[in-house]
Amino acid sequence: MRWRVASGIAFTLAVFAAGYWSGSKSPVYAQSPRVFELRVYHTYEGKLDGLLARFRDHTIEIFNRHGMTSIGYWVPTDEPLKSKTLFYILAFPSRENAAKSWAEFNADPEWKKVAAESQANGKLVEKVDSVFLEPADFSPIK
């Protein structure tokens, strides 16, 4: 199972990098480095659609209010991950800012309400993997 997560993370990073390089003939460098958080949500059987709806209809808007910049969201194309996994990447000005944003997000009354409502028929997410990344010195995205 660990190799599936590792290969999924590698796939997501490859897609992430390809998307940034394909849209421009020359890389664009930001003024200051950011940190990125790659998150992988492993849902319970049959719960991915509910999780995707929660993100689409509520979560991303709440992320925005708390300074969490969405870079992208992906679902795998092949089973067994296809029907029960969500990959996404957020950007933050710093690791400290990420901790602050997550604390504010988790305390947000709207988030608490949305989370409770979306789990009325059982939890959606079985496990979350989170990895913080910083761009390499030669990376076009900072």
Sorting pLDDT into bands at 50, 70 and 90, what band is 6? Answer: low
CB 38 within 8 A of CB 89: yes
Flag whether pLDDT at 108 surpasses 80.
Answer: yes
pLDDT (tens digit per residue) in 68-97: 999 999 999 999 999 999 999 999 999 999
Neighbours of 67 (CB within 10 A): 16
Domain boundaries, the chain: 2-133
Please report the pLDDT score of residue 7 as a whole number: 55
Collect all residues with Cβ–Cβ distance below 8 Å to 74 and sequence separation of at least 6: 12, 15, 86, 87, 88
Name which CATH class applies to 2-133: alpha beta
Please report the pLDDT score of residue 51 as a whole number: 98
pTM confidence score? 0.77
